[in-house]
Copies of this chain bind each other. A is one copy, B any other.
Amino acid sequence: MAHAIAPELIARFAALVGDRYAITDTHEIEPYQRERRDLYRGRAPLVLRPGSVAEVSAILALASETGTAVVPQGGNTGLVGGQIAHDGEIVLSLSRLNAIRSVDPDNDTMTVEAGVVLDDIHKAADSADRLFPLSLGSEGSCQIGGNLSTNAGGTAVLAYGNTRDLVLGLEVVLADGRVWNGLRSLRKDNTGYDLKDLFVGAEGTLGIVTAAVLKLFPKPREMATAFAAVASPAAALALFATARAKAGTQLTACEILPRVGLDFVLRHAEGSRDPMAEPHPWYVLLELSSPLKGADVDAMMQAILEDAFEAGTVRDAAVAASVAQAEAFWQIRLMLSEVQRKEGGSIKNDVSVPVGMVPEMLERGITTVSAMIPGVRPVPFGHIGDGNLHFNFSQPEDMARDDFMAQWGAVTDAIDDIVLALNGSISAEHGIGFMKRNLMEHIKDPVELEMMRAIKATLDPKGILNPGKVV
């Protein structure tokens, strides 16, 4: 059961947003309590759905006055339990703050509220003949406030950066209800401390992001997509290096997947087919883009692949001859999470290392976990160009799912140790949230942790913002 909040206090909070937007009914609260992997179940006595920044401000002022803990929630697609009320906190849903306040094509910026769904931002950018590049599996339901608060990554980081790199300004409601208007839309501004980047990636523990100024980019007019077979992660890395050297930021994606991943897709995804005649141990998906109509990105792709063939890096390659074929290559990559679910239990790691260390991380991780669980099926895939892999393991075919999943902690610990030994990160994209909070003492040097705690105490002295998360 949720911590009791006195009915009269619930009534005070409800009065701030109107009864219609103050949810206490067990059934209606349910969607805010469950997250997509079903790893956690929330216990919130109250969900508030404010319709304005002023209402968010009033809620936090009252929360601060009464010492009431608040968990901000966007599209509820987070993977580390950061958006869940674990201990009876109030859930503050930002989904009604969903206006696109303005689009400025001259400045290549857009000002949006926290509750706008990522796909709606894509559409608005497209209408202005621009690109907003952030791209994630959950883009149909995740909200930009959550993307900002978790510094979301995705498949376009290589050329465009993480969410942090895509934002110029923020509006934030602070723990005591004060509103910081930092909605600047400047490319250069050296007037004091960079507060914006404190809130980006803080997972709602330092303030609640209510709006942001996002960067827009020219739309790609020409694209080339290739699916290449390589012998090993080291060969995949060599192919990445060649592509990066030749294409620079026109290399807009470089993703690796193992044969078993393709096997899973072929087995479970209707209409999928192997782009190659023969099986190969590893594959790399390469994408090049140019905003210039008529730019010969195919020639650039050819130059990359020719070099790679000559160097013996690539064993086979298919270049998409049509948009449909490019989409089919991408589908293989994008189906990987889903098809793993159909192969039984899956233990997931979201890790990064310096790019050159990826092969060593893979070799050590696969060897270690294979020794722990004979027959385990490693399915590491993802953003090799960023040094970031989803280093997942599917259960052995002949093992009970529960027995395998009971190894979650042991496997993630083993992978984390390898990653840390290579100066990597145990959470490259997904954040710390609730899931990894207990690891912070282990992974951070004490000075860094002390600074984080000091900043938390400074900006949220009563500890009401998403308590029990991150620090």
Contact between A352 and B194, CB atoms less than 8 A apart: no
User: Is A370 engaged at the interface, CB distance under 8 Å to the other chain?
Assistant: no
Q: In the complex where A165-B165, A353-B186 touch, is A248 in contact with B218 (Cβ < 8 A)?
A: yes
With a cutoff of 8 Å between Cβ atoms, the chain B residues found around residue A295 in the complex are: 300
Which 7 pairs show the lowest CB-CB distances between chains A and B? A106-B356, A189-B425, A197-B197, A188-B428, A107-B354, A187-B386, A248-B291
User: Is A292 engaged at the interface, CB distance under 8 Å to the other chain?
Assistant: yes
With a cutoff of 8 Å between Cβ atoms, the chain B residues found around residue A353 in the complex are: 186
Question: In whole Å, how far is A16's beta carbon from the nearest beta carbon of chain B?
Answer: 20
With a cutoff of 8 Å between Cβ atoms, the chain B residues found around residue A383 in the complex are: 188
CB closest residue in chain B, given A244: B218
**A126 to B6 CA separation, bound complex (whole angstroms):** 66
With a cutoff of 8 Å between Cβ atoms, the chain B residues found around residue A436 in the complex are: 191
Contact between A106 and B354, CB atoms less than 8 A apart: yes
Q: In the complex where A165-B165, A180-B451 touch, is A104 in contact with B187 (Cβ < 8 A)?
A: no
User: Is A162 engaged at the interface, CB distance under 8 Å to the other chain?
Assistant: yes
Q: Which of A40-64 contact B (CB under 8 A)?
A: none
Contact between A428 and B189, CB atoms less than 8 A apart: yes
Contact between A428 and B190, CB atoms less than 8 A apart: yes
Interface flags, A349-367, vs B, CB<8A=1, else 0: 0001111110000000000
Contact between B191 and A427, CB atoms less than 8 A apart: yes
User: Is A458 engaged at the interface, CB distance under 8 Å to the other chain?
Assistant: yes
| Most chain B C-beta atoms within 10 Å of own C-beta, residue among A197, A244, A443, A471 | A197
A423's contact among B185, B427, B432, B471, by CB below 8 Å, is which?
A: B185
CB closest residue in chain B, given A355: B107
Interface window among A20-28, A92-100, A200-208, A402-410: A200-208
| Most chain B C-beta atoms within 10 Å of own C-beta, residue among A150, A192, A201, A383 | A192
Question: In whole Å, how far is A168's beta carbon from the nearest beta carbon of chain B?
Answer: 9
* Tier of interface size on chain A: 35 or more
Contact between A107 and B188, CB atoms less than 8 A apart: no
CB closest residue in chain B, given A240: B106
Question: In whole Å, how far is A160's beta carbon from the nearest beta carbon of chain B?
Answer: 9
**A117 to B187 CA separation, bound complex (whole angstroms):** 25
User: Is A440 engaged at the interface, CB distance under 8 Å to the other chain?
Assistant: yes
Contact between B386 and A246, CB atoms less than 8 A apart: no
**A278 to B104 CA separation, bound complex (whole angstroms):** 35
Question: In whole Å, how far is A134's beta carbon from the nearest beta carbon of chain B?
Answer: 13
A454's contact among B182, B241, B425, B458, by CB below 8 Å, is which?
A: B458
| Most chain B C-beta atoms within 10 Å of own C-beta, residue among A187, A357, A387 | A187
Q: In the complex where A218-B245, A451-B180 touch, is A201 in contact with B190 (Cβ < 8 A)?
A: yes
Q: List 7 A-B contacts (CB under 8 A).
A: A150-B190, A180-B445, A188-B352, A188-B425, A191-B425, A195-B455, A198-B198
Interface flags, A133-170, vs B, CB<8A=1, else 0: 00000000000000000110100010101101100000
User: Is A124 engaged at the interface, CB distance under 8 Å to the other chain?
Assistant: no
User: Is A77 engaged at the interface, CB distance under 8 Å to the other chain?
Assistant: no
A181's contact among B164, B185, B194, B445, by CB below 8 Å, is which?
A: B445
